[in-house]
Amino acid sequence: MRIDIITIFPQMVEAGLAEGVVGRARTRGVLDIVVHDLRAFTTDRHHVVDDVPFGGGPGMVMKPEPLFAAVEALTERRGAPDAVVMTSPAGKPFLQRDACRLACLGHVVWLCGRYEGIDERVHAALATEEVSIGDYVLSGGELPALVMVDAVARLVPGVVGDEDSIVADSFSRGLLDFPHYTRPAVFRGMRVPDVLLSGHHGQIGRWRRLEALRRTAERRPELLATARLDEDERQMLRELGGSSARKDSEGSE
């Protein structure tokens, strides 16, 4: 998969892509990720990428010309990308299903916003989607782009070593993950649950599904409305009791 990231802080983005599974996939040639300095696509002496907002008000707005020039230069060299993602606090939420959709594409470009925002014509005529990682105030789109690229990249075959761990991940089944333990079996008086030491794989699997359901009901009850549960899990949820033990069709809230 080919990914291009266009930013005014290329070193910040490069640092986030250098290590871990994504960094290794890059060095192995499984992922072709290139970070571009937006200022390289300006034509003025001072490499200006922002300007005052029409209509007045505080802060600056990212100019459209360098962003269009960057994507057009990429299009000339590599062909038109399959998607152009614009990070923005005003975007739709970026969810696991978006990561899955983008991971199936051959070539995706990310545009990182800075200042008060990006000229709306970038959304209208250059980006194919405008997405946000969550409801908190950030100072730019570089960290959101890194979050999204990480979520996409680990779904590309060969990036994560153990395919099973992708399937087992939180959200792949729409539930929070179960609790994990490693040695020692007793640490500062806190014991690992006996079932995990039993070697009984049927019971261990059942315990993990129950704990995943318990956590989800406790921390993210709204996820239960869309989680893919089998009849066994629906029964476990009823046995957990309380208002969180509602049926799929009844929805959340």
Name the H helices within 28-95: 64-78
228 is catalytic: no
Q: How far apart are CA 111 and CA 71, in angstroms?
A: 9
Helix, strand, coil percentages, rounded to 5, for the chain: 45, 15, 40
Q: Binders of ligand JBZ: how many residues, by CB under 6 A?
A: 14
**Site mask, ligand JBZ, residues 93-132, x = CB under 6 A?**
--------------------xxx-x--------------x
Please give the DSSP secondary-structure letter assigned to residue 177. P
From the CB of 144, what's the least distance to ligand JBZ, in Å?
Answer: 3
CB of 139 to ligand JBZ, least distance (A): 6
Site string for ligand JBZ, 143-172 (x = CB under 6 A): -x----------------------------
Separation CA 42–CA 36 (nearest Å): 12
89 is catalytic: yes
CB 71 within 8 A of CB 126: yes
Q: Specify the residue, 64 or 141, whose C-beta has the smaller distance to ligand JBZ.
A: 141
| Alpha-carbon span 232 to 223, nearest angstrom | 18
Residues that bind ligand JBZ (CB under 6 A): 87-89, 113-115, 117, 132-134, 138, 140-141, 144
